[in-house]
Structure 1
Amino acid sequence: MNHYLSKMRGGATLPPQPALRLVVIAWLGGFLAIAAVGLLTDASNMPLVLGSFGATCVMVFGFPDLPFSQPRNVIGGHFIATLTGLVFLTMFGPHWWSMAAALATAIALMLITRTVHPPAGSNPVIVMLTLPGWDFLITPTLLGSVIVIAVAVLYNNLIKDRSYPKYWG
């Protein structure tokens, strides 16, 4: 039991604080991506904003080199997780256990398909809480994630020492 409890103490050192330049780059990238999604939502009268896109911006602008931040993971992860939530909502209804099963299944499917994107893990929960229709898979999920990635590709490559993405498929 002591060994089990000792694992909860941690012990690693705190990661270093990022350089101010990287903070500013991430701030501006997140601003531009959510501004684009919000502006296009207003202009098109289509819902393109999804709460989990905020966390996606943390990934693609703060940690653009990570596998979780690559377009395949962002778009595929959001799509698979939302699809899973919608399937479970349709089959079982909005219950605590169907929400848990949808989330767990989305995790498994993202792992199997190599499209893990941690922010997308919230999508089945969002689906169960908001009870959207099947069009939620296209707007905001698919189109919104494509817009975020388009901004990430254009913006991240303006930065001298960045190359984004690392891979597409």
Structure 2
Amino acid sequence: MSNQTTQPPSPAQNPPQAGASQAGSPQAAARKGGSGAPPFPGAKPALLGTLATIVSLVVLVALGQATGQLLFIAPLAATAMIICSTPALPPAQPRNVVLGQLGSAVIGLVAAAFVGHNLWVAAVAAGLSVGLMLLLRAIHAPAAATAAVVVLQHPAVVPFLVLLAIGSVLCVLVGLIASKAGVIATYPTYWW
């Protein structure tokens, strides 16, 4: 007989079984009949976030109409929604919005210039934009769509980049104003 005692296995030696979860995890909540989704923020925050998003988009449309330029594009609609409904999340922060949008647009422009304007190139450009955003530490999901839009619509390079920068900054400014007015939660949590 040996004098050695038996030690319980460490977590590294005995990893949890696949599908095993902790009591407070989203999976556990789902098994209990609940959802792993975040709770509804309440009627007032939902209404105010919706109104702030509408204001952001109307500002883009109004300035676009006044200047004869298109400032309202689908990816900026998603940007406005992220800023006004989830202002504390990293994708809503000014760094992520501006770097994500402009970096992805450049990826789309370069891909289209070297390979062409088709759905295949748009798909690859959108994927490459994710890599660039990860590299820049500026993840902003709507920006992947910006890369695809650029490939498929082949806009004039300089005017598009300038308008995209203006639109991105306007979304950030409306979020900042909405936060200062108490319409949405604190925004931004960091600038750069």
5+ long unaligned stretches in structure 2: 1-17, 20-25
How far did 1:153 drift? 0.7
Between the aligned partners of 1:29 and 1:57, the Cα distance in structure 2 is: 8
**Sequence identity percentage:** 28
The structure number with the bigger radius of gyration is: 2
- Look up the equivalent residue of 1:62 and give its one-letter code: S
Relative contact order, CA 8 A, sep 6+: which one is greater? Answer: 1
TM-score, normalisation: structure 1 = 0.88
Q: Which residue of 1 aligns with 2:191?
A: 168
Contact 2:48–2:184 (Cα < 8 Å) also in 1 = no
Between the aligned partners of 1:161 and 1:111, the Cα distance in structure 2 is: 27
How many residues of Structure 1 are paired with residues of Structure 2 in the alignment? 162
Between the aligned partners of 2:137 and 2:145, the Cα distance in structure 1 is: 17
Between the aligned partners of 1:160 and 1:23, the Cα distance in structure 2 is: 10
How far did 1:160 drift? 7.2
Q: Which residue of 1 aligns with 2:121?
A: 98
Residues 132-169 of structure 1: CA deviation (Å, up to 9, x unaligned) = 12021112x11111111111111122117832111111
Q: Which residue of 2 aligns with 1:110?
A: 133
How far did 1:51 drift? 0.9
- Look up the equivalent residue of 1:137 and give its one-letter code: L
Between the aligned partners of 2:100 and 2:184, the Cα distance in structure 1 is: 27
Instruction: Output the aligned Cα RMSD.
Output: 2.0
- Please, which of 61, 82, 85 is the counterpart of residue 84 of structure 2? 61
TM-score, normalisation: structure 2 = 0.78
> Are positions 1:81 and 2:104 aligned together?
yes
In 2 relative to 1, CA 160–97 (structure 1 residues): closer, same or farther, beyond 3 Å? closer
Between the aligned partners of 1:44 and 1:72, the Cα distance in structure 2 is: 26
How far did 1:130 drift? 1.1
Residues 88-140 of structure 1: CA deviation (Å, up to 9, x unaligned) = 1111111333222211211000001011101111011111221212021112x
Between the aligned partners of 2:46 and 2:183, the Cα distance in structure 1 is: 15
- Look up the equivalent residue of 1:155 and give its one-letter code: A
- Look up the equivalent residue of 2:129 and give its one-letter code: A
Higher percent of residues as helix:
1
